[in-house]
């Protein structure tokens, strides 16, 4: 099978790895990416497109308009000629069905009479205004396959009228890149002036209100007041980074909190290995709830257990990983209890890693993607 993938996420090299696994299965993959994409809230300059070392296919860079928006960006020129020249068996638009780029690619691809699939992680039924709703329906009518990351997403797609094939495939993790590493742990702790024997709690992600970093800071304060000494590592950036730093000062946590606001996705194994426990304290908003929580499986692949809130898919993912430290979202007292329990518990790194690879390893995800597309070709 020859698959053409259109994906803004693949400007980041690690996101190409699952397609390397598809190549390893004997298939051909080419990827079309934006040439000038800016990650909203994370970067202010276009991301330089990098190739994952093991990916063999073509990476075709095409300039986009509205380059700092995921749902609103679109390509400056028609992709019909590019896709036609590539002549694939199937086209995978790894974008949400309501996005302008998904509509554009599928509209360009329909005349080529190829099997077309799209991706969705939208777990809330949102009624978009015209013309977005009309474009979304166009995508539904002309796609043979939807890749849904969860049962909630599947329910949304069916409720909105998508009638064709749906294959539920969760997000995956590159088990070769995200590995247990004592060397990375020692390197990270030395860089951050954290003692090797210290207990480190970590957060990784966007610093925005819905990620609940403030709740984690308050829980850390309570732990310290109860004479449970921990360090907190916050890896990420976003519009509330300055506010969180102010909160850390107000809570008198400055000595025990470390910030890393310049990490790339490729660097993340180092920072996960620095942690003894990872926390995803997300909070539901009116228009958002946690769609999956990829950091949970990336941390687990590094042998690190997670604590998570009850927001969205978090408890389901943790249950799959045989983890039960879950707290009611926004509840500082419950999170404090979970942190103290994690502090007193010995976890098996190898068991954690084994569980995540079995359910979410990219090798298995690649197999599922291939099977899904082969059914509709």
Q: Are the C-beta atoms of 178 and 272 separated by less than 8 Å?
A: yes
Q: What percent of the chain has pLDDT over 90?
A: 97
CA distance 321 to 29: 30
Q: Is the pLDDT of residue 217 over 90?
A: yes
> What angle (nearest 5°) sits at the alpha carbon of residue 142, between those of residues 138 and 146?
100
Helix or strand holding residue 28 (H, E): strand 28-34
User: For position 81, what pLDDT does the model report?
Assistant: 96
Q: What is the pLDDT of residues 44-81, one digit of tens each?
A: 899 999 999 999 999 999 999 999 999 999 999 999 99
Q: What is the mean pLDDT of residues 361-371?
A: 98
Q: What is the pLDDT of residues 119-168, one digit of tens each?
A: 999 999 999 999 999 999 999 999 999 999 999 999 999 999 999 999 99
Q: Is the pLDDT of residue 295 over 90?
A: yes
**CA diameter of the chain:** 67
Long-range contacts of 320-325 (CB under 8 A, 24+ apart): 320/355, 320/359, 320/360, 321/296, 321/297, 321/352, 321/355, 321/356, 321/359, 322/351, 322/355
User: For position 74, what pLDDT does the model report?
Assistant: 98
Q: What is the pLDDT of residues 323-362, one digit of tens each?
A: 999 999 999 999 999 999 999 999 999 999 999 999 999 9
For all residues of the chain together, what is the average pLDDT?
Answer: 97
Q: Is the pLDDT of residue 42 over 90?
A: no
Q: What is the pLDDT of residues 222-263, one digit of tens each?
A: 998 888 889 999 999 999 999 999 999 999 999 999 999 999
* Torsion angles phi and psi, residue 337, rounded to 5: -60, -45
> Is the pTM for the entire model greater than 0.75?
yes
> What angle (nearest 5°) sits at the alpha carbon of residue 319, between those of residues 19 and 186?
70
Q: What is the mean pLDDT of residues 8-24?
A: 97
Q: Are the C-beta atoms of 178 and 298 separated by less than 8 Å?
A: yes
Q: Is the pLDDT of residue 316 over 90?
A: yes
Residues in the chain: 377
CA distance 301 to 344: 22
Three-state DSSP at 65 gives strand
User: For position 226, what pLDDT does the model report?
Assistant: 84
Helices (H), ranges, the chain:
17-24, 80-86, 100-109, 132-142, 151-159, 182-192, 213-225, 241-250, 268-274, 294-301, 314-320, 332-344, 349-360, 362-376
Q: Is the pLDDT of residue 114 over 90?
A: yes
User: For position 40, what pLDDT does the model report?
Assistant: 87
> What angle (nearest 5°) sits at the alpha carbon of residue 369, between those of residues 144 and 176?
155
Task: List domains and CATH numbers for the chain.
Answer: 2-172+361-376 (3.40.50.2000), 182-358 (3.40.50.2000)
Q: What is the mean pLDDT of residues 311-334?
A: 98
The DSSP letter of residue 345 is -
60: tokens are 């075709």
User: For position 227, what pLDDT does the model report?
Assistant: 83
The DSSP letter of residue 232 is E
User: For position 229, what pLDDT does the model report?
Assistant: 85
The DSSP letter of residue 321 is T
CA distance 103 to 109: 10
User: For position 41, what pLDDT does the model report?
Assistant: 78
User: For position 78, what pLDDT does the model report?
Assistant: 92
CA distance 331 to 281: 9
CA distance 61 to 257: 40
User: For position 20, what pLDDT does the model report?
Assistant: 97
Q: Is the pLDDT of residue 21 over 90?
A: yes
């Amino acid at each position: 099978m020859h698959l053409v993938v259109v994906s803004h996420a693949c400007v980041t090299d690690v996101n190409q790895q699952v397609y390397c696994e598809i190549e390893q299965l004997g298939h051909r993959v080419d990827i079309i990416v934006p040439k000038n994409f800016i990650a909203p809230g994370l970067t202010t300059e276009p991301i330089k497109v990098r190739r994952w070392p093991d990916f063999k296919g073509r990476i075709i860079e095409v300039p986009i308009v509205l380059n700092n928006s995921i749902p609103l960006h679109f390509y400056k020129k028609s992709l019909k000629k590019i896709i036609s020249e590539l002549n694939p068996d199937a086209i995978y638009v790894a974008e949400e069905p309501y996005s302008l780029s998904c509509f554009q690619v599928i509209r360009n691809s329909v005349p080529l009479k190829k099997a077309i699939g799209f991706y969705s992680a939208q777990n809330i039924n949102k009624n978009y205004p015209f013309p977005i709703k009309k474009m979304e329906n166009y995508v539904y009518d002309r796609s043979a396959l939807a890749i849904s990351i969860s049962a909630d997403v599947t329910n949304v797609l069916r409720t909105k009228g998508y009638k064709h094939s749906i294959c539920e495939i969760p997000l995956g993790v590159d088990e070769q890149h995200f590995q247990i590493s004592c060397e990375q742990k020692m390197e990270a702790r030395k860089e951050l002036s954290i003692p090797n024997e210290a207990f480190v709690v970590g957060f990784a992600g966007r610093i925005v209100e819905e990620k609940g970093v403030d709740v984690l800071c308050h829980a850390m304060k309570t732990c310290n007041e109860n004479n449970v000494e921990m360090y907190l590592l916050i890896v990420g950036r976003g519009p509330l980074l300055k506010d969180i730093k102010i909160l850390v000062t107000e809570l008198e946590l400055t000595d025990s909190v470390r910030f890393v606001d310049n990490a790339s996705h490729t660097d993340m194994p180092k920072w996960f290995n620095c942690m003894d426990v990872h926390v995803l304290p997300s909070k539901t908003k009116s228009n958002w709830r946690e769609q999956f929580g990829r950091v949970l499986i990336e941390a687990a692949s590094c042998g690190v257990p997670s604590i998570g809130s009850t927001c969205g898919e978090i408890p389901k993912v943790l249950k799959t990983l045989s983890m039960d430290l879950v707290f009611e979202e926004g509840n500082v007292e419950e999170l404090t209890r979970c942190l103290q329990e994690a502090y007193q518990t010995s976890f098996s790194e190898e068991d954690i890693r084994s569980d995540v690879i079995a359910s979410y390893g990219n090798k298995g995800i690649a197999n599922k993607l291939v099977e899904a597309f082969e059914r509709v070709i």
